[in-house]
């Protein structure tokens, strides 16, 4: 069973001030989770979490994370601009992009961000664009093939296909790239990789770390480059379904430490800093989409219409992703009604749930759609002219603060030339 981080009484008060739908975030949960992550990697003096801005691009959230010692991982011009405006500086910003426009490399360099190159050809492009190669540089590694760690003790198998991904250097390109970058003036090097998404296994990060640590040792021997950091990127997931096991970040950190001691320390690389880029793990459970039941329909199936739609949360429509739903005030009622929970878009995939067993839902009921704190609001769009919703922060003291107002028709029309 998933329990919302907000009560019905709290929501009734919040919705009296902010009309549904809106995304609600839990400041207390965000801070506690950031501290658990930091504690899990406290054994590494240089550890830093670079929060993936694309997951939740809101200044209020970014400022909370900065207070908790995090940096930002950016992949676009506007994400760099937002990080800058939120007070992140220099090495607090990691810029990882692909098919990168020149202006984005220019801004990343001006801000002093650590640039993580996605492709061998980007070395010359970067040089031509900014006129030099930064002294500190990183390269993204794609080992190709199929990545698998088999069955974990939780019974979950991690499999993905890096060879089908558009990202990263091949292994041979990594060696050639390090040599070329060194000859062009780079002094400090990093390695980055992302091999699987939303893994529910404490073994994923240690396995990835082992691959990257061994690669780092080989690259140092082959090129003589000084590797100062290794970025394990993202991929540590969250349990969207109530019966899925949650990752144990302390166990994950300990697993990475063992690989570090086993591989890097004997190679004389015990001073390498470990970085992470966790968007989903950092934020998903600490955000929810609050919506209200507005219609019911009885045809070939039973439908509940809500005032949110896929424009507010795209993942179920786009991926068939599961997001748990709590009918507030009916948490302990029997789930004896089968519904499709739908939005108002003129698309049949605009459904938050299909054939979901839920308590009887009445018009006016408040629904909490769980785990939308990452890749929720940020993936919103304006199809059908639907307007993007507000974002509200439930602060640690129990008060609320509007951190993004809802769009208005004037916003929607503002970029049009009549």
Could you list the active site residues?
A: 346
Query: How many helices and strands (H and E) does the chain possess?
Result: 12, 19
Cα separation, 57 vs 141, whole angstroms: 26
Full DSSP string of 363-403: TT-EEEE-S-TTTTGGG---GGGPPPPEEEEE-TTS-EEEE
Element (DSSP H or E) covering residue 294? strand 287-298
SS3 for 300-314, per residue? CCEEEEECCCCCCCC
Residue length of the chain: 418
- For residue 25, how many C-alpha atoms fall within 13 Å in the half-sphere facing its CB? 28
What is the SS3 assignment for 101? coil
- Find all residues with CB under 8 Å of 210, minimum gap 6, and list them: 259, 262, 263
- For residue 196, how many C-alpha atoms fall within 13 Å in the half-sphere facing its CB? 24
Tokens of 387: 């307007």
Cα separation, 128 vs 169, whole angstroms: 20
- Decide the pairing of beta strands 147-151 and 157-160: antiparallel
Burial label, 396 (beta-carbon count in 10 A; 0-12, 13-18, 19+): middle
Cis, bond preceding 32 (omega within 30 deg of 0): no
Closest residue by Cα to residue 395 from 56, 55, 30, 58: 30
- For residue 217, how many C-alpha atoms fall within 13 Å in the half-sphere facing its CB? 17
170 close to 209: Cβ distance less than 8 angstroms: no
48 close to 28: Cβ distance less than 8 angstroms: no
Query: Within 10 A of 69 (CB to CB), how many other CB atoms are there?
Result: 14
Cα separation, 55 vs 283, whole angstroms: 8
163 close to 147: Cβ distance less than 8 angstroms: no
Cα separation, 163 vs 167, whole angstroms: 9
């Amino acid at each position: 069973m998933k329990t919302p981080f907000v009560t019905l009484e709290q929501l009734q008060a919040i919705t009296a001030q902010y009309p549904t739908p809106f995304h609600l975030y839990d400041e207390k949960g965000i801070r506690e989770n950031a501290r658990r992550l930091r504690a899990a990697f406290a054994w590494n003096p240089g550890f830093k979490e670079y929060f993936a801005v694309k997951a939740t691009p809101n200044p209020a959230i970014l400022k909370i994370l900065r207070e908790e010692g995090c940096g930002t991982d950016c992949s676009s011009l506007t994400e760099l601009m937002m990080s800058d405006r939120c007070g992140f500086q220099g090495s607090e910003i990691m810029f990882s992009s692909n098919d990168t426009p020149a202006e984005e490399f220019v801004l990343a360099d001006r801000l002093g961000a650590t640039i993580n190159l996605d492709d061998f050809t980007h070395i010359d492009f970067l040089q031509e664009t900014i006129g030099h190669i930064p002294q500190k540089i990183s390269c993204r590694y794609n080992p190709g093939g199929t990545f698998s760690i088999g069955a974990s003790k939780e019974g979950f198998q991690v499999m993905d296909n890096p060879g089908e991904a558009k990202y990263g250097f091949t292994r041979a390109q990594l060696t050639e790239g390090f040599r070329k970058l060194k000859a062009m003036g780079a002094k400090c090097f990093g390695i980055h990789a992302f091999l699987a998404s939303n893994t529910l296994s404490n073994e994923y990060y240690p396995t990835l770390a082992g691959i990257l640590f061994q690669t780092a040792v080989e690259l140092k021997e082959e090129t003589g480059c000084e590797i100062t950091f290794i970025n394990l990127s993202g991929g540590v997931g969250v349990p969207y379904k109530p019966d899925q096991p949650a990752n144990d970040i302390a166990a994950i950190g300990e697993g990475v430490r063992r690989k570090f001691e086993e591989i890097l320390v004997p190679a004389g690389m015990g001073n390498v800093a470990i970085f992470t880029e966790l968007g989903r793990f950092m934020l998903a459970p600490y955000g929810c989409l609050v919506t209200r039941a507005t219609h019911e329909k009885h045809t070939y199936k039973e439908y509940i219409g809500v005032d949110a739609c896929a424009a507010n949360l795209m993942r179920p429509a786009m991926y068939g992703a599961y997001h748990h739903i709590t009918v507030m005030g009916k948490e302990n009622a029997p789930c004896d009604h089968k519904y499709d929970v739908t939005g108002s878009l003129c698309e049949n995939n605009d459904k938050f749930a299909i054939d979901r067993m839920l308590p009887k839902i009445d018009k006016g009921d408040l629904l909490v759609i769980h785990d939308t704190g990452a890749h929720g609001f940020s993936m919103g769009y304006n199809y059908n002219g639907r307007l993007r919703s507000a974002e509200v922060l439930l602060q640690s003291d129990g008060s609320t603060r509007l951190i993004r107002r809802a769009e208005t028709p004037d916003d929607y029309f503002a970029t049009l030339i009549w």
